[in-house]
Structure 1
Amino acid sequence: MTKTKLLLSTLALAITSTVVSLPAQAEANNINPGVTINQLSHRQPIHWVSVEQIAASLKGKPPMNVGFDVDDTVLFSSPAFFHGKQVFSPNSNDYLKNPKFWDEVSNGWDKFSIPKESARALIEMHLKRGDHIYFITGRPKPSSGHEELTEIIQKDFNIPAKQMSPVMFSGPSHGAKVSYIKDNHIKLYYGDSDGDILDARAAGAQAIRVLRPSNSTNRPMPHNGSLGERVLVNSEY
């Protein structure tokens, strides 16, 4: 009888020790710590807007001149840029300083760039309003003076020729887009970079941020809403 009690006591102690040690062991082996409801529901205080809300804010206003950045705003052009890097400088970003790359990317390689659906919705809304659309890119102007980017964008987004001007190449210099926005009386400008927002404001235009795709080759990523601008919801694609 004594032996039976001793055996049962030993077994109970072993089970208790195992149960007590399980949470600590599970915690040590858990590679997914989970999140609290507060973490899930936390949002940054950004002024989000939709295409419908932008349209509503323009209701009753006459047709105007509207501007768009190109790379990461209307086109996901990373495929073209990635290809250029493999061709001109596989181990560095020196290709961005090579005029031959810029000549190629703006003369055909954008056929591999993907039109963003958020840009399509914006452009369709502005076309319905009768607005005239300008595209201002920070790319250097091709050395030959010839470019196919205008034709590609017009085809990708089905823009009538009478409502679109040829793409303007401002170059990457700080503040380079200001004069283009101002001289063409652009009232509303869309872009993914801080420079787009600041240049639009410097030219007296309203600025709306478009989200840069998370897999863009253009790094570092901007802090959307950090300048107090409106940010287009769901515009990363």
Structure 2
Amino acid sequence: MKLLTKTTMATILGLVMAVSAQAAPKEPYTQAGFNTRQAEEQQAPIHWVSIAQIKESLKDKPPMNVSFDIDDTVLASSGCFYYGKEKYSPNDYSYLKNQDFWDEINAGCDKYSIPKQVAKELIDMHQERGDQIFFITGRTAGKDDQVTPLLAKTFNVKNMQPVNFMGGHGQEQLKTKYNKAAGILKHNVQLHYGDSDDDILAAKEAGIRGIRVLRATNSTYTPFPQAGGYGEEVIVNSSY
């Protein structure tokens, strides 16, 4: 058996000490952190798409009917809902079933809502294709619909159709599980955009393509949905 020289033993000892020094924490961690392997393992396999990719996917298709949800999809309207909650039911969400709230909100509050850039770009793209735009919302209709003209002006919508208000007393008359699915089917919509789970599920129920728009990060509409959770496409950079 060949004996190791002092030089060889010293080299091996040095390597062992170096590896041990690298593996051992230098100081105790003071808060939760992450390493790159953990981060990559936690990444969800989301089907991200850009507006350009959506346009490309439609290049061989004739003009179609396309629909959009309103709140957090085309308008950042949380200010109106925050105002309404504070005025009509500060301690719960019963204001959403109060017709006075809907009468007031639909009659002009959206002049303070912020249009989302992603909505402008999507609507422009679809209108360039010759698509007809519809708006289908879970809001309850009010006495004075100022939402329709505001959306027409804000997004320069051609041949603007009245907003489809799918909430409220008419809901029980719907033949679909998800209220927006009724509006989608009524107008023969082939592509629907929305931020909520109900938007994606309504599109699935109607048998059409549903694409997720990210909810604004400062939205009061909580809890936030899991974008991509139903395998749907999710538009990048669409929270604003």
- For normalisation by structure 1, the TM-score amounts to 0.82
Name the counterpart of 1:102. 102
Matches within 5 A, 1:74-113: 74-113=74-113
Moved more, 195-204 or 43-52: 195-204
Tell whether 2:218 aligns with 1:215. Answer: yes
Q: Provide closer, same or farther for how the CA distance between residues 227 and 74 of structure 1 changes in structure 2, counting only shifts above 3 A.
A: same
Q: How far did residue 37 of structure 1 move?
A: 2.3
Q: Give the secondary structure class of the aligned counterpart of 1:177.
A: helix
Moved more, 192-201 or 125-134: 192-201
Moved more, 46-55 or 177-186: 177-186
Q: Provide closer, same or farther for how the CA distance between residues 39 and 215 of structure 1 changes in structure 2, counting only shifts above 3 A.
A: farther
Q: 2:152 corresponds to which letter in structure 1?
A: Q
Matches within 5 A, 1:217-232: 217-232=220-235
Tell whether 2:182 aligns with 1:179. Answer: yes
Q: Provide closer, same or farther for how the CA distance between residues 179 and 92 of structure 1 changes in structure 2, counting only shifts above 3 A.
A: closer
Mapped to 2, the partners of 1:48 and 1:207 lie a distance apart of 13
Name the counterpart of 1:151. 149
Mapped to 2, the partners of 1:24 and 1:202 lie a distance apart of 53
Q: Give the secondary structure class of the aligned counterpart of 1:228.
A: coil
Q: Give the secondary structure class of the aligned counterpart of 1:91.
A: coil
Mapped to 2, the partners of 1:165 and 1:204 lie a distance apart of 23
Give the aligned CA root-mean-square deviation in angstroms.
Answer: 2.0
Matches within 5 A, 1:33-182: 33-41=32-40, 42-142=42-142, 144=143, 146-160=144-158, 162=159, 164-171=160-167, 173=171, 174-182=177-185
8 Å contact kept, 1:193–1:222: yes
Q: How far did residue 36 of structure 1 move?
A: 1.7
Q: Tell me, which stretches of 5 or more residues in structure 1 are unaligned?
A: 1-22
Mapped to 2, the partners of 1:202 and 1:24 lie a distance apart of 53
8 Å contact kept, 1:188–1:205: yes
Name the counterpart of 2:196. 193
Moved more, 206-215 or 34-43: 34-43
8 Å contact kept, 1:182–1:204: no
Name the counterpart of 1:6. none
Question: Percent identity, aligned pairs only?
Answer: 50
Q: 1:35 corresponds to which letter in structure 2?
A: F
Post-superposition Cα deviations, 1:126-182, rounded to whole Å, max 9, x if no partner, equal 01111100000001111x2x300011111211222x2x3111101165511222111
Q: How far did residue 39 of structure 1 move?
A: 4.1
Q: Give the secondary structure class of the aligned counterpart of 2:134.
A: strand
Q: Alignment length, in residue pairs?
A: 209
Q: 1:58 corresponds to which letter in structure 2?
A: L
Mapped to 2, the partners of 1:214 and 1:157 lie a distance apart of 22
Name the counterpart of 1:3. none
Q: Provide closer, same or farther for how the CA distance between residues 43 and 82 of structure 1 changes in structure 2, counting only shifts above 3 A.
A: same
Q: Give the secondary structure class of the aligned counterpart of 2:121.
A: helix
Q: Tell me, which stretches of 5 or more residues in structure 2 are unaligned?
A: 1-23, 172-176
8 Å contact kept, 1:178–1:203: yes
Q: How far did residue 35 of structure 1 move?
A: 3.0
Moved more, 93-102 or 43-52: 93-102
